[in-house]
Chain A
Amino acid sequence: MLTLNHFLLLSAALFSVGLAGVLARRNAIVVLVGIELMLNAANLNFLAFWRFSKNPEPLAGVMFALFSIAVAAAEAAVGLALVIAIYRHCRTTNLDQVDSLKG
């Protein structure tokens, strides 16, 4: 029997994996990968709560997830553009080496 707990635990695990990637990896693109995983965990939570609630408004959860996906797409585009700009400037995407404010 599937309950809300299953989805919430999976979502928490997905979020933690993404957070570990963001905090531990050196490459900027893998950090963005981790951020996308965390956003996906949030979307999963939205839809799980929508599905397992009593649905006073039957479309609210779906709309929330759709808008969240669209904002995440905009975030990914700007984030990757920033990574490319940093690479142009510093010739590296290694976050340990991109540590000067005025270069």
Chain B
Amino acid sequence: MQLAFTIIALLILAGATAAVALRNLVHCVLCLAVAFVGVAALFLLLGAEFVGLAQIMVYVGAVAILMVFALLLTRNADLPATGPLVSKSWLTGVSIAALVFGCLAIGILASGVGQAAPPSPQLSVRQIGEELMRNYVLPLEVLGVLLTVSMIGAVVIAMTDPKPD
């Protein structure tokens, strides 16, 4: 379990670092998909199989593909990818991120929450579905409204072209 965690953690961190550091944007999105698959594997390791499968379907199947499409729609074919990769204030940004990680790590290590896991809870998809239809039915409906609104909003924002050329 420790070995599996180490391998998956290295995969996630390598994929995430490549996703924000590579110059070719298509490679960035593909590395992002690798990081998503790693996170899904960690969800499986944690005993949340349904969330892991949902993660693969939503993130790898939808979000990464959506990003590739957005990338192709916004690509400047006449401008080659030259120029600096990072913004003018990149040093500040990276320092802030390192500082945040330092603070979080100190907090985590000082908090003393590193207990071992209790026995794994057994969850079936049937249980999750019944719970969604009973206790969580109102959040589920609100979520349906949210997804509909965001879908309509995304179509409206992306499709209106004030200056047809």
A-side residues, CB < 8 A to B, are 1-10, 12-27, 29-30, 32-34, 36-37, 40, 43-44, 47-48, 50-55, 58-59, 61-63, 65-67, 69-78, 80-85, 87-88, 91-93, 95-96
Contacts and interface: CB of A to CB of B under 8 A. Distances in A.
Interface of B: 1-2, 5, 9, 12-13, 16-17, 19-21, 25, 28-29, 32, 35-36, 39, 42-43, 46-48, 50-51, 54-55, 58-59, 62-63, 66-67, 69-71, 73-74, 76, 84-90, 92-94, 96-98, 100-101, 104-105, 108-109, 113-118, 120-121, 123, 127-128, 131-132, 136, 139, 143, 146-147, 150-151, 153-155, 157-158, 160-161, 163
Contact of A51 (B25, B46, B76): B46
A25 B46 contact: no
A48 B151 CA distance: 31
Chain B, interface SS category: helix
B43 to A, nearest CB: 6
A2 B93 contact: no
